[in-house]
Amino acid sequence: MAAAVEAAGGRKASCFLEVGRREIGSSFPRASSRRISGSEVRVGQLKEGGEVTTRLVGEHDSSVHKMAIEPGSPYIFYSCGEDGLVQHFDLRSDSATKLFTCYSFLNDRRRVRLNSIAIDPQNPYYFSIGGSDEYVRLYDMRRFQLDDSRNINQPVDTFCPKHLVKGGKVHITGIAYSYAREILVSYNDELVYLFQSNMGLGPNPVAAQPECFDKLDQPQSYSGHRNYRTVKGVNFFGPNDEYVVSGSDCGNVFIWRKKGGELMRMMNGDKSVVNCIEPHPHFPFMATSGIDKTVKLWTPSAKKVMSLPKNAKEIIASNERGREVDASGAEVTLSSDVIMHVLRLHRRQSELQRENEPGAADFASDDDEAFYIGFGNAERDERENSDPRECIVT
C-alpha cells in the first residue's frame, strides 16, 4: 500500500477528518459533506467549481470528535461530544434533537466524555458510543422515538473486555462497525478489541454477576501500536472488512488481518502521530491524518505481499515499553502523613499568596518596576470554582 496524495491543510492544530459523503443518495451527486470543528456541527455544501460553503446546524458545550451518518440516508446523522451529549440531526428539519446525556454507571452525576459514535450498518436503529470509561454502550433509537423517559440513558447492551470491567483506568477513543455487525473498539493505552454481538454484558455491567463474565468469550485483540497521546479512531478495511486499521503514537498506520490478529503492514503516516483513519465506502482507498498539516490517501499498489519494516520489532517494543512505563507510574501510593504534610504546605502557600496579593494602589505608580506572581483572573476563578473533593499536587 502506498501514499497516493497528500492534501495540505492550513491550520497548525491536529488534523481530524470524517468521510462525510459515505451514504449521500444518487439524487444528490454533489450534495453535502458534514464536518465538525471544535464544538460546532456544520454542514458543508460542495458547489460546482470546488467552492465549499458551510452552515451551522448544531453545537455542543465541549469538543466534538466524532459523528455517524445513518446508512442509506442522505439526511440523517448523529454527533457526540465531550459534554456527554448525543444529538440526532435530520437535514430536512431546522434544528437538532438532543437525545440524551451519557452518565457513568458508578456515579449518575458524572458525565461520560464521549469520543466516538457508530451506527450498525445492518440495523440503523442501533448505535454505539464510547468515551471516558471502559464501556461501549449500545442504544436503540426506537426507545427515544417512543419518548419513554425511563429509557433515557439506559443502553440495550454494553461491551468491555473482562479484564477491564470495573477497572476505571482506561477509556475508549474509537468505535467502528463491520458489515457483519461486529464492534471494533480502540482503548487508550490498551489494545484494539473486536466484539461479536453475543459478547454483551447487559444494560448495566456494574450490576452483572461475576459468573456471567466467565461465560463470555474473550474478544479478538490487536496489538503493536500505541494509543496514548491523542484521540485515535479505528476502522475496518477491505471489501469484506478483512482487515483492521489504526493509527499510532509512533506515527505509523497499523494494518492487521481481522481473523487471528496478525500484523500485516506498518506504514509511516505522520511525523508524529496518526489519529484518524477513514476508508472509502466503495473503492480501495483510505485516508489518514494526524499532527501534520496533511491528509494522506492510500491505495494498494504492490504486486506482492510486502514484509514489515526492518525496524518493526524495535517500534513495537518501544510502544510496549512506553505503555508499561506509564502503567507502572500511573499509581502512586502515599501515606496519610505525607498527604497531610502536602495539604498543610498547600494551605500555607495559599495563605501567603493572599497576604501578599497587592491592591490597586500598589500599581498606581509607573516609576516603580515590580514583579508579582500570583493568581490571574482565570486562575482565581478556576480555584474558586474547583471541586473541593479534588486534591491537585504540583
Q: In sequence order, which ranges of 129-266 are alpha helices (DSSP H)?
A: 141-145, 210-214
Strands laid side by side in the 157-159 sheet: 114-119, 126-131, 136-140, 157-159
38, HSE (Cβ side, Cα atoms, 13 Å): 5
Instruction: Give which of 141, 169, 170, 145 is closest to 156, Cα–Cα.
Output: 141
Closest CA to 118 of 174, 170, 198, 60: 174
The cell numbers describing 181, all together, are 455487525
All domains of the chain in start order, with CATH: 2-330 (2.130.10.10), 336-385 (no CATH)
Residue 156 confidence (pLDDT): 95
pLDDT tens-place values along the chain, 394 residues long: 533 333 444 433 443 444 443 333 322 333 344 544 478 998 888 888 888 899 999 999 999 989 999 998 989 999 999 999 999 999 998 889 999 999 999 998 999 999 999 999 999 999 999 999 999 999 999 988 766 555 567 899 999 999 999 888 899 999 999 999 999 999 999 999 999 999 999 999 988 887 778 888 999 999 999 999 889 999 999 999 999 999 999 999 999 999 999 999 999 999 999 999 999 988 999 999 999 889 999 998 888 888 999 999 999 999 999 988 877 764 444 555 666 666 566 566 555 655 554 443 443 333 333 322 233 343 344 444 443 333 333 3
Instruction: Locate 184 and state its grid cell.
Output: 471494533
Judged by phi (left if over 0) then psi (alpha if -120 to 50, else beta), residue 350 lies in alpha
Which residue type does 89 have? F
pTM of the entire predicted model: 0.75
* Identity at 236, one-letter amino acid code: F
Residue with cell 496514548: 228
Q: Which residue has the cell 452518565?
A: 103
* Residue 342, H or E segment: helix 336-356
Q: How much of the chain is in helix, strand and coil states, percent to nearest 5? A: 20, 30, 50
- Identify whether the C-beta of residue 184 lies closer than 8 Å to the C-beta of residue 178: yes
Answer for the pair 71, 23: CB distance below 8 angstroms, yes or no: yes
